[in-house]
Amino acid sequence: MPGSRTFVGTGVFRDQPFTVDVSNLLQRPGARRRVLLSGALVLELDQVDDSGPINADLEVQETGGSVLVRGEVTSYLRMRCNRCLGEVPTDLSISLVQLYVTEPDEDVPRIGSDGSIDLSDAIHDELCLSVPLVPLCSGACRGLCPTCGTDLNVEPCEGHTAERGSPFAALEGWLETSPRGAKTSR
Q: What are phi and psi of 43, to 5 degrees?
A: -95, 105
Tell me: does residue 156 bind Zn ion (CB under 5 A).
Answer: no
* Residue 68-107 contact track with Zn ion, rule CB under 5 A, x = bound: -------------x-xx-x---------------------
Dihedral (Cα; 129, 122, 18, 42), 10-degree rounding: -40
Residues 6+ apart with CB under 8 A from 111: 22, 26, 66, 67, 100, 101, 102, 117
Q: Are 79 and 85 in contact (CB under 8 A)?
A: no
Under rule CB under 5 A, which residues in 5-24 are in contact with Zn ion?
A: none
- Binding Zn ion (rule: CB under 5 A), the pick from 37, 48, 94, 141 is 141
Nearer to Zn ion, 40 or 148 (CB): 148
- Binding Zn ion (rule: CB under 5 A), the pick from 33, 70, 78, 160 is 160
Q: Are 77 and 93 in contact (CB under 8 A)?
A: no
* Candidate ranges 29-37, 92-100, 103-111, 159-167; the one touching Zn ion (CB under 5 A): 159-167
Q: Are 124 and 44 in contact (CB under 8 A)?
A: no
Which residues here bind Zn ion, judged by CB under 5 A? 81, 83-84, 86, 137, 141, 145, 147-148, 150, 157, 160
